[in-house]
Structure 1
Amino acid sequence: ARRVMGARGVRKVHATRLDAFDSSGEPDAARLVDNPTAVGGSEVRWSWAADSEASAPPSADRLASLLAPVAWPRVELLLSHAAASGALVQALCDTDGARRLGVPPLRGLVVAATGNGTLHRELEAALHHAQSRGVRVLIATRCAEGGLRAGHSASMGEGLGFATTDLSPVKARLSLMLELLDEH
């Protein structure tokens, strides 16, 4: 409470606590400041950090484009884990199945990888196939701290050819949706 946290670092850390959010050690974008010497009682104001990402709100045009009633690109979130297979990726990429279900075709996949971007090899092969069919693949780590560096993920010391992000998997999904929306 009494804090504004930057979007990149903020995360919900407790299901029921009033102060349920944390910013992973990043500085606050703003803090609520009390001034008990104010005339007429306590004055409450926000103190914004000068270098805060929150100090540069999106333009009115950008907000209008995001709020316009348009179909958002379909981006799904997957986990890499022991015994993972490529079956789910294949099913998600099935355009005939998507049409039968009345959902748009898959445009992107975000994979929550273990550690420093490690993927199960069967999942990796299916992701390469999806990428060759035009599906954007983005790798994020499942680790709570220390996101992946932007660039390409590495497994066992070799580059896999997938884009990576330092965002959490859930934030990476929304980020990829926004990127794809801008491309449309």
Structure 2
Amino acid sequence: MQVSTTRKIVILGTGGTIAGQGSAHGGGVGYQPGQIDVAQLLQPIVEHCLPERFVFEAEQVAQLDSKDMDITTWQQLAQACSKWLDQADVAGVVITHGTDTLEETAWFLQCVLQPVKPVVMTCAMRPATALSADGPANLRDAVICAADGVAGVWVTVAGEVHGAQWLRKVHPYRVHAFSSGAQGPAAWVEEGRVRWLQRAPATVVLPEFASVVWERDAKQWPWVELVTSTAAARPAAVDALVAAGVQGLVVAGTGNGSIHQALQQALQRATAQGVMVWRTTRCEQGQIVLADGEQDAAVTPLSPVKARISLMLALLQN
């Protein structure tokens, strides 16, 4: 008896610009995101550029503008990924997502799933109705990347593949809007093939806590906020957050993580009241470099928005 070698790639939709619709003139702004079902986005791609050994299944997890991403949707998305990844015939998962919070969702999924199969996110800077729509090519590349079988959470955009840890949105309009800074892309998708430079995504050392992520009501998740050190920074903002019940603060320091002295005093008061404080840099590239022999458990190499996610997850364990 011949055994079928057909495997499945699952495409999960969450909305975003890639599913957006605009006016008839085909512009790249002034559109409504999250209007087209993921199955409809997938349809024109399946027939032309995908390996014959795969079948495809689409599931609409959410339909929103990613600027409005929330914990409940993160939970639903992570659960959907886990459900499909646990199936032996599923080779990988592709997720369509808005660009605004893509880097945050990618890092969240890398932390909570740490998948042994590929989870590939993709997006678009132009709506599906734009004359210069970039979504179809990005989705095609994401499926090709998922079929390539490299484990981890990846993001395909503008012909590049990025790891979840370093990816940042660096431009509000251009199609080539994402960068991994000095780290650079992990791979490129070229003529239907993936050319890898870095195959190992970040490994996040965390205890097993999937049940906590799934089961804890979103309203009960730890409250963590970002604070940025600037010239003429005022400590009242930190004091107000502490008084309101914030449980964690991520400080985006200037340069090599330095913090305005007035702000530093407020952060010390926050720490004394039991608020967890982490420190990173507001610079888009690089990370804080400590002096030889210096140790600081509050320093993180993550970007401010990703540090916020990791601190939320750390506090979720307590």
Instruction: Name the residue aligned to 1:130.
Output: 270
Q: 2:306 aligns with which of 171, 175, 182?
A: 171
Following TM superposition, the consecutive aligned residue runs of length 4 or more in structure 1 with deviations greater than 4 angstroms are 47-50, 61-65
Q: 1:7 aligns with which of 164, 172, 176?
A: 164
Q: 2:213 aligns with which of 58, 62, 66?
A: 66
What residue identity is the alignment partner of 1:53? P
Instruction: Name the residue aligned to 1:52.
Output: 200
Say if 1:50 and 1:179 are closer, same or farther in 2 by CA, change over 3 A: same
Aligned equivalents of 1:106, 1:146: Cα separation in 2: 28
Q: More deviation in 65-74 or 114-123?
A: 65-74
Say if 1:63 and 1:24 are closer, same or farther in 2 by CA, change over 3 A: farther
* 1:180 maps to 2:311: no
Deviation at 1:131, TM superposition (A): 0.5
Deviations 1:82-111 (A, max 9, x none): 2222211111111xxx3xxxxxx3110011
CA contact (8 A) 2:187 2:198 kept: no
Say if 1:76 and 1:33 are closer, same or farther in 2 by CA, change over 3 A: same
Higher helix share: 2
Q: 1:93 aligns with which of 219, 239, 242?
A: 242
Q: Given the two structures, how large is their TM-score scaled by the length of structure 1? A: 0.70
Say if 1:132 and 1:176 are closer, same or farther in 2 by CA, change over 3 A: same
Deviation at 1:112, TM superposition (A): 1.1
Say if 1:4 and 1:50 are closer, same or farther in 2 by CA, change over 3 A: closer
SS at match of 2:307: helix
Say if 1:162 and 1:50 are closer, same or farther in 2 by CA, change over 3 A: closer
Instruction: Name the residue aligned to 2:247.
Output: 107
CA contact (8 A) 2:159 2:188 kept: yes
Aligned equivalents of 2:177, 2:215: Cα separation in 1: 31
Instruction: Name the residue aligned to 1:21.
Output: 178
SS at match of 1:73: coil
SS at match of 2:277: strand
Which residues of 2 match residues 153-172 of structure 1 at below 5 A? 163-172=298-307
Aligned equivalents of 2:214, 2:256: Cα separation in 1: 35
Instruction: Name the residue aligned to 1:76.
Output: 225
Return 5+ residue gaps in structure 2 as ranges. Answer: 1-157
Taking only the aligned residue pairs, the percentage that are identical comes to 44
Q: Given the two structures, how large is their TM-score scaled by the length of structure 2? A: 0.43
CA contact (8 A) 1:165 1:172 kept: yes
Deviation at 1:29, TM superposition (A): 2.9
Return 5+ residue gaps in structure 1 as ranges. Answer: 35-43, 99-104
What residue identity is the alignment partner of 1:52? A
SS at match of 1:31: strand
Aligned equivalents of 2:168, 2:181: Cα separation in 1: 8
